[in-house]
């Protein structure tokens, strides 16, 4: 069957089960957009910035577990994807990005809107391609989706020269992919798994540290089976929130720089730490030399490059978390560590998460009320900053893919477009975006995307008039020299939303929180709530940079 290049791209997307793509057209990608115009099975969401398209595809992927897709033009269209690709790469999100490119005969001539996007993104994609023949399109796209979703997931970029889009070629979609040198290990070594089972039996103070890899591997059920069977307390990283129910007594909540005191103390006291799908970033470990210094460390990860990269490991296991845990669960025997669990309960009583609950409108109180009114049944998407940490601390996550946030890159402006993508992927779920007045303004143009696509998400802005997290660091470590963190000139967010024909509310008092949330969540369309909170409210606990995670500011 002979088709044009763009018809081949469309057929490939259909073969991969793609139902929605996010993007913005332009000259070099116009043929593909013309083909999409007549394709009823694929919905295109027009964002107002290419970064918004990348983040929306990312949010869609995290919420659904499927591959997110975005399409943009060449030159600035492609370079505007860079932050979104880097964000997806660091958080292991499956994404395929299609970029337009100048015709092949003009590549290298500095033609209008020409950049070498493959070179620009080589370090922030799992792989990227420039397709120079229409005959190679089907095989390339098949490989792109395969690479994005297998092994350690990640973004893949496919660059499409304009003449390749228009050329004719026979279409046949490959049944299989065989990439020499790419063969992810899924089943961990059985002897290593047996060693872990023995170590659990022998340990007096064991715990689990679960990361985003557990969610990516769809291994939450197996994690819960392990924790319940062996009576193991579970701490999660920011990316691991939702992998284990935080309402369960075995939950330690989040560990690390802004983690719970009891999670951080438990890491320091443990004699066995089973680490699942974690990168050991500095925000998790604090001072590396003192992270889990009393413990034997087991590290289970699909990516062999992560094992031993930052923290020495006693029992390394390369493999898929779901398969490894399933086998481990067959080998362990129930054995409750009574004294250890009592110690943890004592820490929980002595060092709970807390804030000064007075007559002011506190962000922690708002998050607690969001949890109360949704009964934990919502997908929470955040931007980056203080509000992100409050959302991580004060909302209890019980299911995977219900907390969506930028972890590794810490991308301000991520949350709002990601929430649009998450809602498109899970229209039956309630999606709430927690943002800040700084973060929201980085992609606030996507209000138009939310309104025109009838995206029923609720955005809650924690408006403190500052770049809050940077200001907090300036307060604690720079003698309150608030250098360029005061957001003078903020817009009236209610009027801004109304200018886009959307609905918005403002609250400044505690008694307004619950009724406004009830009103907003009852509306089946886009709503923004501007919450005026104290300018100098801080996130605690906090581990100072370079300190061990057992040494926390704000813990009595």
Answer yes or no: are the C-beta atoms of 52 and 450 closer than 8 Å: no
Instruction: Copy the structure tokens of residue 496.
Output: 């801004």
* Six-digit token string for 64: 């659904």
Give the relative orientation of helices 5-15 and 30-37 as an angle to the nearest 10 degrees.
60
Q: In angstroms, rounded to a whole number, what is the distance separating the alpha carbons of residues 501 and 242? A: 34
Verify whether residue 306 is a known catalytic residue.
Answer: no
What helix, strand, coil percent values describe the chain, rounded to 5? 40, 20, 40
**Is 469 annotated as catalytic?**
yes
Q: Which of 493, 522, 496 is nearest to 508 (CA)?
A: 493
215 close to 241: Cβ distance less than 8 angstroms: no
What SS3 class is residue 153?
A: coil
CA distances from 386 to 393, 533, 556 (A): 11, 12, 21
> Is 526 labeled as catalytic in the residue annotation?
no
Q: How big is the chain by its Cα radius of gyration, in Å?
A: 24
Pairing of strands 68-72, 20-23: parallel
Catalytic residue among 14, 39, 113, 369: 113
Active-site residue identified among 112, 194, 202, 509? 112
Other CB atoms within a 10 A radius of the CB of residue 308 amount to: 13
Are the C-beta atoms of 214 and 225 separated by less than 8 Å?
no
Task: Compute CA distances 533 → 159, 341, 438, whole Å.
Answer: 45, 37, 13
The one catalytic residue among 11, 50, 246, 306 = 50
How far apart (Å, rounded) are the C-alpha atoms in residues 487 and 479?
19
CA angle 253, 258, 260 (to 5 degrees): 35
Annotated active-site residue 171? The verdict is no
Residue whose structure tokens are 């719970």: 260
Q: How far is CA 308 from the centre of its chain?
A: 23
Distance, in Å, from the CA atom of 24 to the CA atom of 32, rounded to the nearest integer, reads: 11
Q: Would you call 113 a catalytic residue per the annotation? A: yes
185, 190, 195, 198: CA torsion to nearest 10:
130
Q: Say which of 254, 257, 442, 469 is annotated catalytic.
A: 469
| Run of H or E residues at 381 | strand 379-382
Which one of 126, 142, 162, 327 is the catalytic residue? 162
Joined tokens for residue 214: 């557990």
Residues recognised as catalytic: 50, 112-113, 162, 469
């Amino acid at each position: 069957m002979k088709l044009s290049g763009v018809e081949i791209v469309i057929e490939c997307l259909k073969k991969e089960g793609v139902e929605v793509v996010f993007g913005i057209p332009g000259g070099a990608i116009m043929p593909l957009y013309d083909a999409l115009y007549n394709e009823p099975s694929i919905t295109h969401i027009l964002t107002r910035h290419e970064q918004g398209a990348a983040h929306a595809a990312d949010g869609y992927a995290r919420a659904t577990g499927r591959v997110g897709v975005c399409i943009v033009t060449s030159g600035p269209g492609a370079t505007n994807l860079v932050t979104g690709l880097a964000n997806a790469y660091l958080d292991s999100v499956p994404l395929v990005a299609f970029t337009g490119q100048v015709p092949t005969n003009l590549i290298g001539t500095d033609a209008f809107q020409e950049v070498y996007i493959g070179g620009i993104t080589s370090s922030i994609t799992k792989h990227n391609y420039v397709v120079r023949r229409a005959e190679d399109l089907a095989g390339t796209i098949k490989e792109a989706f395969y690479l994005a979703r297998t092994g350690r997931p990640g973004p893949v970029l496919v660059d499409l020269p304009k003449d390749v889009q228009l050329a004719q070629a026979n279409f046949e979609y490959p049944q299989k992919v065989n990439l020499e040198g790419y063969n992810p290990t899924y089943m961990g070594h059985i002897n290593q798994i047996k060693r872990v089972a023995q170590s659990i039996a022998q340990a007096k103070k064991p715990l689990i540290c679960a990361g985003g890899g557990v969610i990516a591997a769809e291994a939450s059920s197996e994690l819960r089976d392990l924790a319940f069977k062996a009576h193991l307390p579970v701490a999660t990283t920011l990316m691991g929130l939702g992998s284990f129910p935080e309402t369960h007594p075995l939950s330690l909540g989040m560990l690390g720089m802004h983690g719970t005191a009891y999670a951080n103390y438990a890491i320091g006291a443990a004699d066995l730490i089973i680490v699942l799908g974690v990168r050991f970033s500095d925000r998790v470990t604090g001072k590396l030399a003192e992270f889990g210094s009393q413990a034997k460390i087991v590290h289970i990860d699909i990516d062999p490059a992560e094992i031993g990269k930052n923290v020495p490991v006693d029992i390394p296991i390369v493999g898929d978390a779901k398969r490894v845990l399933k086998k481990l669960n067959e080998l362990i025997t129930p054995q409750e560590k009574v004294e250890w669990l009592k110690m943890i309960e004592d820490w929980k009583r002595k060092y709970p998460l807390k804030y000064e609950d007075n007559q002011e409108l506190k962000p922690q109180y708002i998050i607690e009320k969001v949890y109360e009114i949704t009964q934990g049944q919502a997908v929470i998407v955040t931007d980056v900053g203080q509000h992100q940490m409050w959302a991580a601390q004060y909302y209890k996550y019980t299911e995977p893919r219900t907390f969506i946030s930028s972890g590794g890159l810490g991308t301000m402006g991520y949350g709002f477009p990601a929430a649009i993508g998450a809602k498109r992927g899970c229209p039956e779920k309630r999606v709430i975006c927690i943002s800040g007045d700084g973060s929201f303004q980085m992609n606030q143009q996507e209000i138009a995307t939310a309104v025109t696509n009838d995206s029923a998400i609720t955005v809650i802005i924690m408006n403190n008039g500052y770049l809050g997290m940077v200001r907090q660091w300036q307060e604690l470590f720079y003698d309150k020299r608030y250098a360029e963190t005061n957001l003078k000139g903020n817009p009236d967010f209610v009027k801004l939303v109304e200018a886009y024909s959307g609905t918005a509310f403002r609250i400044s008092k505690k008694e307004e929180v619950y009724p406004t949330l009830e009103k907003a969540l009852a509306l089946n369309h886009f709503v923004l709530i501007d919450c005026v909170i104290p300018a100098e409210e801080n996130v605690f606990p906090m581990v100072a940079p370079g300190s061990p995670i057992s040494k926390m500011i704000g813990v009595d």
